[in-house]
């Protein structure tokens, strides 16, 4: 039987809920280290029902969100029943709206108590994460359709332990390597813990994939550096977690061209001269086809768990969605099993270290009034979905 292709949008707890006061990002913001504080964010914690109704009205049949670990586990082993009740309502609302749920367990934020004991550098963290995953499976499992254990492990690890941009702002190869290994272990153990509770669960992770291309295909150096980078950033984590995926989630944003110069020796990224988003990120849909074709080797179903752009004026989003869905189709025609697409994001939100300026939402949020207004591109997406469903 052909399953229905899923179309939806994604969010993540700290970026939209507001007042996630028990996590390391909140602490970091309060210490004055971020450009702006997340505060009430998009107040999604209180407005989730309105937001899901909007998504439904925009033609979506699925939705991706994340649970906030720091709300659910206030101290090691100290579970917060009120938070479980809240997320039960959230997931029941998705069912009422007939939106298939993709539930992420870790999207960049950590409970402060976990961060204090070393976060993902601590070798006990994978087991603590798996215990949290198991608890969620026991409490809410019957309401979850798809599980995403960890969002973008390599982005989290590099931003926090190599580029020093996100808490805890470290720059150490040793820490980076430890964190990557612990995230992989955390995923494997959470995968097992969820399956222990719900044997038929669909569990994966959201992998940020970059389309690396050599500046000159006929230059060995460019090609070599491109494949090493591709292996290290795109495929190593999937190798470390091999056997623990029921599907692969793909977050796609970037194409990066690699260049090698011999004299003087230099490896660099070629400056992008094509169209960009408000954040200066390259807009190149062919990159999505490339990364999808590279995933064929794993033989697993694929969901695009994120793909989007900052575009406050909404002048590029409609074309962006069209182009990227075409890129998905091109990969499908070449035999890649892709079953869903989630645009990033449903709502404007707190864009981590970049604050509230970048506007990623299909729906505009006025942060003064919390008024929601779907952007014109949201209706273009709706028309595309409706058309696809009549085929």
Of the pair 139, 152, the CB lying nearest ligand BGC is at 152
- Helix, strand and coil in the chain, % to nearest 5: 45, 20, 35
Contacts of 73 (CB under 8 A, 6+ apart): 79, 80, 111, 132, 135
CB of 109 to ligand BGC, least distance (A): 10
Q: How far is CA 214 from CA 103, 229, 302, in A?
A: 36, 11, 26
Of the pair 5, 360, the CB lying nearest ligand BGC is at 360
Candidate segments 25-33, 47-55, 149-157, 164-172, binder of ligand BGC by CB under 6 A: 149-157
HSE at residue 172, side-chain half, CA atoms within 13 A, is: 8
Of the pair 14, 60, the CB lying nearest ligand BGC is at 14
- What binding mask, one character per residue, do residues 160-199 give for ligand BGC by CB under 6 A, x or -? ----------------------------------------
Helix or strand holding residue 330 (H, E)? helix 317-333
Candidate segments 77-85, 137-145, 148-156, 382-390, binder of ligand BGC by CB under 6 A: 148-156
272 secondary structure, DSSP code: P
Q: Considering CB under 6 A, how many residues would be counted as binding ligand BGC?
A: 9
Residue 12 binds to ligand BGC (criterion: CB under 6 A) = yes
HSE at residue 166, side-chain half, CA atoms within 13 A, is: 22
Tokens of 292: 């999808």
Residue 351 binds to ligand BGC (criterion: CB under 6 A) = yes
Of the pair 6, 16, the CB lying nearest ligand BGC is at 16
CB of 313 to ligand BGC, least distance (A): 18
CA distance 14 to 21: 10
Nearest alpha-carbon partner for 74 in 45, 112, 40, 106? 112
Q: Name which position in 23, 101, 151, 241 contacts ligand BGC (CB under 6 A).
A: 151
Interface residues with ligand BGC (CB under 6 A) are: 12, 151-152, 155, 208, 251, 306, 344, 351
């Amino acid at each position: 039987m052909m399953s229905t292709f899923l179309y939806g949008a994604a969010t993540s707890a700290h970026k939209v809920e507001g007042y996630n006061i028990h996590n390391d990002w909140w602490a970091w913001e309060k210490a004055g280290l971020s450009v702006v504080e997340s505060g009430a964010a998009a107040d999604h914690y209180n407005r989730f029902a309105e937001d899901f109704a909007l998504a439904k009205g925009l033609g979506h049949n699925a939705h991706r969100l994340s649970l906030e670990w720091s709300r659910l586990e206030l101290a090691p082993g100290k579970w917060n029943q009120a938070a479980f009740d809240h997320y039960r309502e959230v997931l029941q609302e998705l069912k009422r709206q007939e939106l298939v749920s993709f539930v992420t367990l870790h999207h960049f934020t950590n409970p402060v108590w976990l961060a204090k004991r070393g976060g993902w550098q601590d070798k006990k963290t994978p087991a603590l994460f798996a215990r949290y995953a198991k608890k969620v499976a026991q409490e809410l499992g019957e309401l979850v359709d798809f599980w995403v254990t960890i969002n973008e492990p390599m982005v989290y690890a590099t931003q926090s332990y190599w580029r020093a941009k996100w808490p805890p702002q470290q720059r150490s190869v040793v820490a980076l390597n430890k964190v990557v290994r612990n995230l992989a272990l955390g995923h494997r153990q959470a995968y097992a813990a969820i399956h222990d509770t719900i044997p038929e669960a669909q569990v994966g992770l959201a992998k940020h994939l970059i389309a690396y291309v050599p500046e000159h295909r006929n230059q060995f150096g460019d090609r070599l550096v491109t494949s090493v980078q591709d292996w290290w950033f795109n495929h190593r984590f999937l190798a470390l977690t091999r056997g623990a995926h029921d599907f692969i989630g793909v977050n796609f944003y970037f194409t990066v061209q690699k260049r090698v110069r011999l004299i003087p020796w230099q490896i660099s990224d070629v400056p992008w001269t094509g169209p960009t988003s408000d954040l200066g990120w390259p807009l190149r849909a062919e990159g999505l086809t490339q990364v999808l074709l590279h995933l064929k080797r794993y033989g697993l179903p694929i969901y695009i768990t994120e793909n989007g752009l900052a575009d406050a004026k909404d002048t590029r989003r409609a074309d962006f969605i069209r182009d990227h869905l075409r890129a998905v189709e091109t990969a499908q025609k070449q035999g890649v099993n892709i079953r869903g697409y989630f645009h990033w994001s449903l709502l404007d939100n707190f864009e981590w270290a970049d604050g509230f300026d970048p506007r990623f939402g299909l729906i505009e949020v006025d942060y003064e009034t919390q008024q929601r207004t779907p952007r014109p591109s949201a209706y273009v997406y709706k028309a595309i979905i409706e058309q696809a469903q009549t085929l």
